Amino acid sequence: MTASPTLGAAEPILDLLPDAPARRAGQALNDLNASLHLWRLCWKLGWLDLKLRYRGSILGPFWLTASTGVMVGSMGVIYATLFKMNVRDYLPFLTLSLVIWGFIGGLVGDATTCFTQAAGMIRSMRMPFIVHAIRVVLRNLLVLAHNVVVILAVFAFFRVWPGINAVESLPALLLWLVDGIAACLLLGALGARYRDIGPVVASVMQIIFFITPIIWKPDLITHGRQYLMFNPFYDLIEIVRRPLLGGTPTVMLWSAALGFSLLFCTAASLLFMRVRARLAYWV
Protein backbone atom coordinates (compact mmCIF):
# COMPACT_ATOMS: atom_id res chain seq x y z
CA MET A 1 0.00 0.00 0.00
CA THR A 2 1.56 3.30 -1.08
CA ALA A 3 1.17 6.62 0.66
CA SER A 4 -0.88 9.28 -1.06
CA PRO A 5 1.09 12.19 -2.53
CA THR A 6 1.41 15.24 -0.34
CA LEU A 7 1.25 18.82 -1.52
CA GLY A 8 4.67 20.37 -1.82
CA ALA A 9 6.46 17.02 -1.98
CA ALA A 10 9.27 16.80 -4.48
CA GLU A 11 8.42 15.01 -7.71
CA PRO A 12 10.98 13.38 -10.01
CA ILE A 13 12.93 15.92 -12.03
CA LEU A 14 12.89 13.75 -15.15
CA ASP A 15 9.36 12.61 -15.96
CA LEU A 16 9.06 10.56 -19.15
CA LEU A 17 5.48 9.37 -18.77
CA PRO A 18 3.13 10.31 -21.65
CA ASP A 19 0.74 12.17 -19.37
CA ALA A 20 3.46 14.17 -17.57
CA PRO A 21 2.23 17.63 -18.75
CA ALA A 22 -1.34 16.83 -17.72
CA ARG A 23 -0.20 15.59 -14.32
CA ARG A 24 1.99 18.65 -13.79
CA ALA A 25 -0.99 20.87 -14.55
CA GLY A 26 -3.12 18.91 -12.09
CA GLN A 27 -0.49 19.18 -9.38
CA ALA A 28 -0.18 22.93 -9.93
CA LEU A 29 -3.96 23.35 -9.66
CA ASN A 30 -3.95 21.30 -6.46
CA ASP A 31 -1.20 23.58 -5.18
CA LEU A 32 -3.32 26.65 -5.95
CA ASN A 33 -6.44 25.17 -4.38
CA ALA A 34 -4.59 24.19 -1.20
CA SER A 35 -2.96 27.64 -0.99
CA LEU A 36 -6.32 29.43 -1.25
CA HIS A 37 -7.65 27.28 1.58
CA LEU A 38 -4.64 28.37 3.65
CA TRP A 39 -5.35 32.08 3.18
CA ARG A 40 -5.30 32.67 6.93
CA LEU A 41 -1.78 31.25 7.09
CA CYS A 42 -0.73 33.45 4.16
CA TRP A 43 -2.11 36.50 5.96
CA LYS A 44 -0.34 35.62 9.21
CA LEU A 45 2.96 35.06 7.40
CA GLY A 46 2.68 38.36 5.53
CA TRP A 47 1.88 40.22 8.76
CA LEU A 48 4.77 38.46 10.52
CA ASP A 49 7.17 39.50 7.75
CA LEU A 50 6.17 43.12 8.25
CA LYS A 51 6.53 42.92 12.02
CA LEU A 52 9.98 41.34 11.78
CA ARG A 53 11.12 43.92 9.23
CA TYR A 54 10.35 46.79 11.61
CA ARG A 55 11.10 45.07 14.92
CA GLY A 56 12.44 47.59 17.42
CA SER A 57 11.23 50.57 15.37
CA ILE A 58 9.05 53.22 16.99
CA LEU A 59 6.91 54.08 13.96
CA GLY A 60 7.21 50.67 12.29
CA PRO A 61 5.74 50.57 8.77
CA PHE A 62 4.67 54.20 9.15
CA TRP A 63 8.28 55.14 8.38
CA LEU A 64 7.33 54.29 4.80
CA THR A 65 4.33 56.58 5.11
CA ALA A 66 6.49 59.41 6.44
CA SER A 67 9.11 58.99 3.70
CA THR A 68 6.40 58.89 1.03
CA GLY A 69 4.87 62.08 2.42
CA VAL A 70 8.21 63.89 2.39
CA MET A 71 8.90 62.70 -1.17
CA VAL A 72 5.50 63.85 -2.39
CA GLY A 73 5.84 67.24 -0.76
CA SER A 74 9.32 67.93 -2.12
CA MET A 75 8.85 66.47 -5.61
CA GLY A 76 5.39 67.97 -6.04
CA VAL A 77 6.51 71.59 -5.85
CA ILE A 78 9.66 71.04 -7.92
CA TYR A 79 8.08 69.10 -10.76
CA ALA A 80 4.97 71.26 -10.84
CA THR A 81 7.30 74.21 -11.47
CA LEU A 82 9.33 72.33 -14.08
CA PHE A 83 6.26 71.09 -15.94
CA LYS A 84 4.46 74.42 -15.42
CA MET A 85 1.38 72.80 -13.90
CA ASN A 86 -1.02 73.81 -11.18
CA VAL A 87 0.05 72.29 -7.85
CA ARG A 88 -3.58 71.60 -6.94
CA ASP A 89 -3.97 69.44 -10.05
CA TYR A 90 -0.51 67.90 -10.08
CA LEU A 91 0.09 66.97 -6.43
CA PRO A 92 -2.88 64.54 -6.09
CA PHE A 93 -1.77 62.89 -9.35
CA LEU A 94 1.84 62.59 -8.17
CA THR A 95 0.83 61.30 -4.73
CA LEU A 96 -1.40 58.61 -6.16
CA SER A 97 1.20 57.65 -8.77
CA LEU A 98 4.09 57.33 -6.30
CA VAL A 99 2.06 55.26 -3.85
CA ILE A 100 0.87 52.97 -6.64
CA TRP A 101 4.39 52.61 -8.02
CA GLY A 102 5.71 51.91 -4.53
CA PHE A 103 3.36 48.95 -4.33
CA ILE A 104 4.20 47.66 -7.82
CA GLY A 105 7.95 48.19 -7.47
CA GLY A 106 8.07 46.63 -4.01
CA LEU A 107 6.01 43.65 -5.14
CA VAL A 108 8.15 43.01 -8.22
CA GLY A 109 11.33 43.32 -6.17
CA ASP A 110 10.08 40.90 -3.52
CA ALA A 111 8.83 38.52 -6.20
CA THR A 112 12.39 37.74 -7.33
CA THR A 113 13.18 36.35 -3.86
CA CYS A 114 9.76 34.84 -3.23
CA PHE A 115 11.04 31.27 -2.88
CA THR A 116 14.65 31.86 -1.85
CA GLN A 117 13.57 33.85 1.23
CA ALA A 118 11.30 30.97 2.21
CA ALA A 119 14.03 28.36 1.65
CA GLY A 120 13.98 27.27 5.28
CA MET A 121 10.24 26.56 5.23
CA ILE A 122 10.42 24.88 1.83
CA ARG A 123 13.16 22.52 2.97
CA SER A 124 11.74 21.74 6.39
CA MET A 125 8.03 21.22 5.73
CA ARG A 126 5.63 20.23 2.97
CA MET A 127 3.60 23.24 2.03
CA PRO A 128 2.02 24.49 -1.23
CA PHE A 129 4.48 26.73 -3.04
CA ILE A 130 1.82 29.29 -3.95
CA VAL A 131 1.44 30.05 -0.24
CA HIS A 132 4.74 31.91 -0.43
CA ALA A 133 3.55 33.89 -3.46
CA ILE A 134 0.32 34.95 -1.74
CA ARG A 135 2.36 35.80 1.35
CA VAL A 136 4.48 38.28 -0.64
CA VAL A 137 1.40 39.90 -2.23
CA LEU A 138 -0.37 40.35 1.10
CA ARG A 139 2.78 41.76 2.70
CA ASN A 140 3.01 44.46 0.06
CA LEU A 141 -0.73 45.05 0.29
CA LEU A 142 -0.27 45.89 3.98
CA VAL A 143 2.44 48.39 3.07
CA LEU A 144 0.08 49.93 0.49
CA ALA A 145 -2.60 50.27 3.15
CA HIS A 146 -0.18 52.27 5.31
CA ASN A 147 0.66 54.63 2.44
CA VAL A 148 -3.01 55.28 1.64
CA VAL A 149 -2.85 57.71 4.56
CA VAL A 150 -0.69 60.02 2.42
CA ILE A 151 -3.23 59.93 -0.42
CA LEU A 152 -6.10 60.76 1.91
CA ALA A 153 -4.13 63.62 3.48
CA VAL A 154 -3.31 65.21 0.11
CA PHE A 155 -6.84 64.75 -1.21
CA ALA A 156 -8.27 66.29 1.96
CA PHE A 157 -5.85 69.24 1.85
CA PHE A 158 -6.78 70.12 -1.74
CA ARG A 159 -10.41 69.03 -1.31
CA VAL A 160 -10.17 66.70 -4.29
CA TRP A 161 -12.38 63.61 -4.05
CA PRO A 162 -13.06 61.07 -6.81
CA GLY A 163 -16.67 60.48 -5.79
CA ILE A 164 -18.50 57.35 -6.89
CA ASN A 165 -15.93 56.77 -9.64
CA ALA A 166 -13.52 55.40 -7.03
CA VAL A 167 -15.56 52.18 -6.94
CA GLU A 168 -14.40 51.44 -10.49
CA SER A 169 -10.86 50.91 -9.18
CA LEU A 170 -11.85 47.83 -7.14
CA PRO A 171 -11.92 45.37 -10.09
CA ALA A 172 -8.53 46.73 -11.12
CA LEU A 173 -7.15 46.07 -7.64
CA LEU A 174 -8.34 42.46 -7.88
CA LEU A 175 -6.55 42.18 -11.22
CA TRP A 176 -3.43 43.52 -9.52
CA LEU A 177 -3.59 40.76 -6.91
CA VAL A 178 -3.82 38.08 -9.60
CA ASP A 179 -0.94 39.64 -11.52
CA GLY A 180 1.05 39.91 -8.29
CA ILE A 181 0.74 36.19 -7.61
CA ALA A 182 1.72 35.48 -11.23
CA ALA A 183 4.76 37.77 -10.86
CA CYS A 184 5.86 35.87 -7.74
CA LEU A 185 5.52 32.51 -9.48
CA LEU A 186 7.37 33.66 -12.60
CA LEU A 187 10.11 35.85 -11.12
CA GLY A 188 10.37 33.74 -7.97
CA ALA A 189 11.07 30.59 -9.97
CA LEU A 190 13.58 32.38 -12.21
CA GLY A 191 15.19 34.03 -9.20
CA ALA A 192 15.57 30.67 -7.46
CA ARG A 193 17.32 29.21 -10.50
CA TYR A 194 19.34 32.29 -11.52
CA ARG A 195 20.35 34.62 -8.68
CA ASP A 196 21.15 37.42 -11.15
CA ILE A 197 17.44 37.92 -11.82
CA GLY A 198 17.02 40.24 -8.81
CA PRO A 199 19.57 42.90 -9.88
CA VAL A 200 18.43 42.66 -13.51
CA VAL A 201 14.78 43.23 -12.58
CA ALA A 202 15.74 46.13 -10.28
CA SER A 203 17.60 47.83 -13.12
CA VAL A 204 14.74 47.29 -15.56
CA MET A 205 12.21 48.68 -13.07
CA GLN A 206 14.24 51.89 -12.75
CA ILE A 207 14.01 52.38 -16.50
CA ILE A 208 10.28 51.61 -16.53
CA PHE A 209 9.72 54.19 -13.77
CA PHE A 210 10.94 57.00 -16.03
CA ILE A 211 9.22 55.89 -19.24
CA THR A 212 5.86 55.39 -17.51
CA PRO A 213 3.63 58.39 -16.63
CA ILE A 214 4.30 58.49 -12.89
CA ILE A 215 6.07 61.78 -12.20
CA TRP A 216 4.79 63.24 -15.47
CA LYS A 217 1.26 63.31 -16.85
CA PRO A 218 0.29 61.53 -20.09
CA ASP A 219 -1.16 64.84 -21.30
CA LEU A 220 2.38 66.15 -21.75
CA ILE A 221 2.75 63.88 -24.80
CA THR A 222 1.20 65.75 -27.70
CA HIS A 223 2.09 63.25 -30.45
CA GLY A 224 2.14 59.48 -30.29
CA ARG A 225 0.22 59.19 -27.02
CA GLN A 226 -1.41 56.01 -28.34
CA TYR A 227 1.92 54.23 -28.01
CA LEU A 228 1.56 54.41 -24.22
CA MET A 229 -0.95 51.58 -24.56
CA PHE A 230 1.95 49.25 -25.38
CA ASN A 231 3.39 49.85 -21.93
CA PRO A 232 1.66 47.27 -19.69
CA PHE A 233 2.59 49.20 -16.55
CA TYR A 234 0.78 52.27 -17.86
CA ASP A 235 -2.37 50.26 -18.55
CA LEU A 236 -2.36 48.55 -15.15
CA ILE A 237 -1.65 51.79 -13.29
CA GLU A 238 -4.19 53.84 -15.22
CA ILE A 239 -7.15 51.51 -14.59
CA VAL A 240 -6.65 52.18 -10.87
CA ARG A 241 -5.41 55.76 -10.97
CA ARG A 242 -7.96 57.26 -13.34
CA PRO A 243 -11.07 56.35 -11.27
CA LEU A 244 -9.38 57.65 -8.11
CA LEU A 245 -8.81 60.97 -9.88
CA GLY A 246 -12.46 61.20 -10.89
CA GLY A 247 -12.19 59.78 -14.41
CA THR A 248 -13.33 56.57 -16.09
CA PRO A 249 -10.97 54.10 -17.83
CA THR A 250 -11.81 53.52 -21.47
CA VAL A 251 -12.73 50.14 -22.92
CA MET A 252 -9.46 50.13 -24.88
CA LEU A 253 -7.49 50.72 -21.68
CA TRP A 254 -9.20 47.83 -19.91
CA SER A 255 -8.78 45.59 -22.95
CA ALA A 256 -5.04 46.28 -23.05
CA ALA A 257 -4.67 45.67 -19.31
CA LEU A 258 -6.60 42.40 -19.46
CA GLY A 259 -4.69 41.28 -22.54
CA PHE A 260 -1.28 41.87 -20.99
CA SER A 261 -2.42 40.24 -17.73
CA LEU A 262 -3.67 37.17 -19.58
CA LEU A 263 -0.36 36.76 -21.40
CA PHE A 264 1.61 37.30 -18.21
CA CYS A 265 -0.46 34.86 -16.13
CA THR A 266 -0.26 32.25 -18.89
CA ALA A 267 3.55 32.52 -19.02
CA ALA A 268 3.77 32.33 -15.22
CA SER A 269 1.48 29.28 -15.08
CA LEU A 270 3.40 27.40 -17.76
CA LEU A 271 6.74 28.07 -16.09
CA PHE A 272 5.47 27.18 -12.62
CA MET A 273 3.98 23.91 -13.85
CA ARG A 274 7.27 23.09 -15.51
CA VAL A 275 9.63 23.82 -12.61
CA ARG A 276 7.45 23.29 -9.56
CA ALA A 277 9.05 19.95 -8.73
CA ARG A 278 12.53 21.47 -8.88
CA LEU A 279 12.03 24.53 -6.66
CA ALA A 280 12.95 22.64 -3.47
CA TYR A 281 16.34 21.81 -5.01
CA TRP A 282 17.00 25.32 -6.35
CA VAL A 283 16.42 27.27 -3.17
Q: What is the pLDDT of residues 41-95, one digit of tens each?
A: 888 888 888 888 777 666 666 777 777 788 787 777 787 777 777 888 888 898 8
Output the pLDDT for position 61: 67
Phi-psi region of 246 (alpha: psi -120 to 50; beta: other; left: phi over 0): left
Dist. CA 10–CA 252, nearest whole Å: 43
Phi-psi region of 55 (alpha: psi -120 to 50; beta: other; left: phi over 0): beta
Q: What is the pLDDT of residues 215-235, one digit of tens each?
A: 888 887 777 667 777 889 999
Integer CA distances (angstroms), 218 to 117, 149, 202, 214, 235, in order: 37, 25, 24, 9, 12
Output the pLDDT for position 133: 92
pTM of structure? 0.84
Dist. CA 151–CA 95, nearest whole Å: 6
User: How far is residue 72 CA from its own chain's centroid?
Assistant: 21
Output the pLDDT for position 1: 43
List Cβ neighbours of 33 (8 Å cut-off, separation of 6 or more). Answer: none
* DSSP H helix total and E strand total for the chain: 11, 0
Dist. CA 146–CA 144, nearest whole Å: 5
Output the pLDDT for position 221: 77
Per DSSP (E only), the strands in 145-275 are: none
Output the pLDDT for position 266: 94
Q: Which positions of the chain have pLDDT values less than 50?
A: 1-19
Nearest-5° angle of CA 156, CA 158, CA 164?
60
Q: What is the dihedral of CA 167, 44, 123, 185, to 10 degrees?
A: 0
Phi, psi (deg, nearest 5) at residue 11:
-95, 165
